[in-house]
Structure 1
Amino acid sequence: MPFEPIAESENTTPEPRMRNDRDGRRLPDFLGLLRRKPQTDLDSLTKRILLPSLPVTDEEMARATHQDKGQKLARQEMWEELARLIEYGDGARLRTPGGENATMLLAYGARADVVAAAEDALHDGVAPDSAGIDALEEMRAEFHDSYACTLIVALTHIDIGWAWRATATERKTVEHEAQFHLHFKRADDILSPFDGVDLDAPSLASAQCALLAGRQRPRLRVADDYEKLIDLDPDSPRHMRALGEALLPARYGSYEMLDLEARRTAARTGEVWGAGGYAWVYLDALALDPGALERLDCEFFIDGLRDIVARKRDQHVINQLSAFCGIVMAPRSGKARLPSGVEVSRARIHDCLDWLLENHMQELHPLIWSQTLLKPGLTPALPSRRALVAKGRQTALRVIAQRFAEDIEDGSSIAFSSSGMYRLPAL
């Protein structure tokens, strides 16, 4: 996916273009939204933003460690050892520094080879070889009492089902949809003997939520299924973010359901996140559908951001929230503008970038900024790593320079450290 240049026109904020993600959803393109000053001015100002940058972060290394472990054990067919790690990860609620569930990363690595082969075949226009999934089914039959082994096979079916749907063409829609439902039905069947609540296994509850896409009436189950998952693992923001996306009108819900469940989630997770549950549920929903702003309680959302930061000071989270406020909530004009009251809410959330930078930012994680720019939500788009890092750094520094342009136009600089942000006067 090539990067589009940021236009250089002055005093314009064009409406975002729309583009399709791999699942066919329409997403806003935020590439043209960072413009209060010409690009040349911003590029000059970014040289006076002194912010340490981490091309490889602790979060990425932790994710890679779990994924690689799962993949290695699967390749060596050490299924009992892998099952033990998955069960331990569930029981201990083992997570990466940024809050990603280790159990799901292990399971992702374990099925990566089979899923990648199926995706490659479908993108080449041919049906996937069934040898990979058949081998996993044989493994499941051998370890039929192990929920962890069953989970790996079920998630493989879910991923292959999505691959069939994502590669459907106008001529082959019926065939691909039939395969999508076939794989989801198989995943549902093999997971049915295992209950995530009874086994205290958030990974199983998460898989049940993933199965909503294949159900005939998911709207009736979405709130209950995600409530079970979040109650099992309230420390994980991923589940709350996924709930918000699932409740959008384009998926299984409505704006009214989204706001109701965000409030209920905040109430149930208050001991962990304060008001943060409300913000987590809305985070990806707002990124994917600006219309969700119409029901948003802006004060509650901002309180939630502050509570998240107070409880989770990890720089991965600080970069996530800063990129959201700086890019996704950037002001719009023209046809992209929503009613004035809604635009006021957008502007207020955008202004939260100031206190996030001034009080909490210590280091830049470029990949988070490039992923937010390219595709808001849980799943990042993946051009080359080098391109992502470079674009993320450029984007972050422009956003920061734009916010503090008046402070550094005199030649002074803005610096960041563990003690906070401070201004260095011009020499």
Structure 2
Amino acid sequence: MTFDPLAPPEPLSDSARPARTGLARLLDGLTGLLGRKPELDIDSLTKRILLPALPVTDEEMARATHQDKGQKFARQEQWEDLAEIIEYADSARLRTPGGEAATGLLAYGARADVVSAAEDALHDGAEPDGDGIDALEEIRADLPDSYPMALVLALAHVDIGLAWRATATDLTATRHEARFLEHFKRAEDLLAPFDGPDLDAPSLAAAQCALLAARPTPRLRVADDYATLIDLDPDTPRHMRALGEALLPTRYGDYESLDLEARRTASRTQDVWGTGGYTWVYLDALARDPGALARLEAEFFIDGLRDIVARRHNQHVINQLAAFCGLIMAPKIGTSRLPAAQEATRARIHGCLDWLLENHLQELHPLIWSQTLLSPGLTPALPSRRALVARGRQAALRVIAERFAEEIADGTSIAFSSAGMYRLPAL
């Protein structure tokens, strides 16, 4: 679960794509997480979990609407209209039901065609055609005082720069790294005249966080850059989640810095999230690196979970948190186990699945569960959207069935509705 400050996950489609590798990884993850009870027994019990599922959610539709709008304006060359709506989305802190900033989605759609063409070329081992980025440069030159246009172009350079780095091999590493730095330098120059706090524009502050990938000493800036962003837009969880991932030892920080900034973030966002800022900062960090449990304070984290639910009680967030507790925090066996104290912390967080299911879950959002199962950073050969929905539903029902196996072993069923979870007698 890696979250770039501005680039939302690419929309999934049902188009024919290679699915075997991604689906196999997903199934392996499901088997590893839920293989502690006999498979046939759990599969049988899942038939007694009556939980309505939404293959397409309000959150997905809202994200697609913003992305499509950005793409439509770009394709029809309505750049001034695009700039106006990005400025409005920034100033109004417009977001999706799940808390995703609309500015990032609009900017993503506006640059999607240019970036996708460059990424496809690089993955094919070819030099990207420069016509697309050059056209954006010309449009930006016609609107030099428009920060939304600078933002769209800068983020296109960021995405293409990251694609150069991601496609490097041992033989091409030097050249690809040079091109990565060239694109990031251009992005930095484009954004230099515009200041996020002065313009009250969280999108600009988020773009500065994206530029950390090419800073010579990002460790010295990551906390301050993200603090600026979070202070501008504390209602958007993505920023806090990105901060936590950025502070992992494999990125720009260490476990001590992660815990310190999680506490600072909780303090600064207390009016919005209570103690939830601590939990948001740790969420993606734990998904990427369970070793982050070493410094995590379980009681603080669990209090944060409760505060998030109390303040953002929609089913998108409930599914996110339930999938995290049920899958990411599931007890490990064998070589995957951590030291006893960390496993105890993991077990306490996993136990939060009970009250999330019993008191808050009303409908299943399968894609959230399937995306939680996928290993962080897995992008090639993703399964089709239909396969992800099916596997997400299977994962969720198995987690719930395993959690309540003793209660429904007598033939009773568990049902979910807007009134909460309840039991149905055996027929």
Supply the distance in 2 between the matched residues of 1:134 and 1:376 (Cα, whole angstroms): 33
SS class of match (1:398) = helix
User: Judging changes above 3 Å, is the alpha-carbon distance between structure 1 residues 205 and 253 closer, same or farther for their aligned structure 2 residues?
Assistant: same
- Verify: 1:177 aligned to 2:177, yes or no: yes
- Verify: 1:252 aligned to 2:272, yes or no: no
Displacement after TM superposition at 1:59 (Å): 0.1
Q: Which residue of 1 aligns with 2:216?
A: 216
- Verify: 1:4 aligned to 2:24, yes or no: yes
Supply the distance in 2 between the matched residues of 1:196 and 1:165 (Cα, whole angstroms): 27
Contact 1:284–1:376 (CA under 8 A) maintained in structure 2: no
Supply the distance in 1 between the matched residues of 2:140 and 2:289 (Cα, whole angstroms): 39
Map 1:9-48; keep pairs closer than 5 Å: 31-48=31-48
Q: Which residue of 1 aligns with 2:262?
A: 262
User: Judging changes above 3 Å, is the alpha-carbon distance between structure 1 residues 30 and 425 closer, same or farther for their aligned structure 2 residues?
Assistant: closer
- Opposite residue 339 of structure 1, the aligned amino acid is P
The two structures have a TM-score, normalised by structure 2, of 0.93
User: Judging changes above 3 Å, is the alpha-carbon distance between structure 1 residues 83 and 126 closer, same or farther for their aligned structure 2 residues?
Assistant: same
- Superposed CA deviations along residues 312-331 of structure 1, whole A, max 9, x for unmatched, are 10100000000000000010
Contact 1:30–1:374 (CA under 8 A) maintained in structure 2: no
Contact 2:366–2:388 (CA under 8 A) maintained in structure 1: yes
SS class of match (1:224) = helix
Q: Count the aligned residue pairs.
A: 407
The higher-RCO structure (CA 8 Å, 6+ apart) is 2
Supply the distance in 1 between the matched residues of 2:243 and 2:206 (Cα, whole angstroms): 11
SS class of match (2:199) = coil
Q: Which residue of 2 aligns with 1:67?
A: 67
User: Judging changes above 3 Å, is the alpha-carbon distance between structure 1 residues 146 and 183 closer, same or farther for their aligned structure 2 residues?
Assistant: same
Supply the distance in 2 between the matched residues of 1:204 and 1:423 (Cα, whole angstroms): 50
User: Judging changes above 3 Å, is the alpha-carbon distance between structure 1 residues 378 and 94 closer, same or farther for their aligned structure 2 residues?
Assistant: farther
Supply the distance in 1 between the matched residues of 2:263 and 2:369 (Cα, whole angstroms): 28
Supply the distance in 2 between the matched residues of 1:260 and 1:381 (Cα, whole angstroms): 37
Displacement after TM superposition at 1:300 (Å): 0.1
Supply the distance in 2 between the matched residues of 1:335 and 1:167 (Cα, whole angstroms): 31
SS class of match (2:23) = coil
Unaligned stretches of 5+ residues in structure 1? 8-16, 18-28
Supply the distance in 1 between the matched residues of 2:410 and 2:121 (Cα, whole angstroms): 57
- Opposite residue 79 of structure 2, the aligned amino acid is W
SS class of match (1:423) = strand
- Opposite residue 4 of structure 1, the aligned amino acid is A
Displacement after TM superposition at 1:221 (Å): 0.3
SS class of match (1:33) = helix
- Opposite residue 264 of structure 2, the aligned amino acid is R
- Opposite residue 424 of structure 1, the aligned amino acid is L
- Verify: 1:418 aligned to 2:406, yes or no: no
Supply the distance in 2 between the matched residues of 1:388 and 1:66 (Cα, whole angstroms): 23
Supply the distance in 1 between the matched residues of 2:249 and 2:190 (Cα, whole angstroms): 30
Displacement after TM superposition at 1:375 (Å): 3.2
Segments ≥4 residues shifted beyond 6 Å: 377-381
Identity %: 76
The two structures have a TM-score, normalised by structure 1, of 0.93
Supply the distance in 2 between the matched residues of 1:366 and 1:139 (Cα, whole angstroms): 40
- Verify: 1:203 aligned to 2:223, yes or no: no
Supply the distance in 1 between the matched residues of 2:82 and 2:31 (Cα, whole angstroms): 41
Contact 2:285–2:292 (CA under 8 A) maintained in structure 1: yes
Supply the distance in 2 between the matched residues of 1:53 and 1:243 (Cα, whole angstroms): 31
Contact 1:287–1:377 (CA under 8 A) maintained in structure 2: no
Contact 2:98–2:314 (CA under 8 A) maintained in structure 1: yes
Contact 1:240–1:280 (CA under 8 A) maintained in structure 2: yes
Q: Which residue of 1 aligns with 2:228?
A: 228
Displacement after TM superposition at 1:374 (Å): 0.6
Supply the distance in 1 between the matched residues of 2:24 and 2:381 (Cα, whole angstroms): 14
Displacement after TM superposition at 1:32 (Å): 1.1
Displacement after TM superposition at 1:383 (Å): 2.3
Contact 1:371–1:380 (CA under 8 A) maintained in structure 2: no
Supply the distance in 1 between the matched residues of 2:245 and 2:30 (Cα, whole angstroms): 18
Contact 1:4–1:31 (CA under 8 A) maintained in structure 2: no
Displacement after TM superposition at 1:382 (Å): 4.1
Supply the distance in 2 between the matched residues of 1:31 and 1:93 (Cα, whole angstroms): 41
Q: Which residue of 1 aligns with 2:369?
A: 369
Displacement after TM superposition at 1:4 (Å): 2.6
Q: Which residue of 2 aligns with 1:272?
A: 272
Contact 2:30–2:395 (CA under 8 A) maintained in structure 1: no
User: Judging changes above 3 Å, is the alpha-carbon distance between structure 1 residues 155 and 257 closer, same or farther for their aligned structure 2 residues?
Assistant: same
Contact 1:6–1:32 (CA under 8 A) maintained in structure 2: no
Q: Which residue of 1 aligns with 2:16?
A: none
Supply the distance in 2 between the matched residues of 1:365 and 1:376 (Cα, whole angstroms): 19
Query: Which range moves more in the overlay, 355-364 or 40-49?
Result: 40-49
Q: Which residue of 2 aligns with 1:119?
A: 119
- Superposed CA deviations along residues 335-367 of structure 1, whole A, max 9, x for unmatched, are 211110110000000010000000000000000
- Verify: 1:309 aligned to 2:309, yes or no: yes
Supply the distance in 2 between the matched residues of 1:181 and 1:299 (Cα, whole angstroms): 42
Q: Which residue of 2 aligns with 1:159?
A: 159
Supply the distance in 1 between the matched residues of 2:301 and 2:379 (Cα, whole angstroms): 22
Supply the distance in 2 between the matched residues of 1:237 and 1:31 (Cα, whole angstroms): 30
Displacement after TM superposition at 1:379 (Å): 8.7
Displacement after TM superposition at 1:31 (Å): 4.8
- Opposite residue 72 of structure 2, the aligned amino acid is K
- Opposite residue 125 of structure 2, the aligned amino acid is G
Displacement after TM superposition at 1:3 (Å): 1.8
User: Judging changes above 3 Å, is the alpha-carbon distance between structure 1 residues 220 and 379 closer, same or farther for their aligned structure 2 residues?
Assistant: farther
Supply the distance in 2 between the matched residues of 1:277 and 1:239 (Cα, whole angstroms): 10
- Superposed CA deviations along residues 143-176 of structure 1, whole A, max 9, x for unmatched, are 1100000000000000001111111111111111
- Opposite residue 24 of structure 2, the aligned amino acid is E
Displacement after TM superposition at 1:127 (Å): 0.8
Contact 1:165–1:176 (CA under 8 A) maintained in structure 2: yes
Contact 1:375–1:381 (CA under 8 A) maintained in structure 2: no
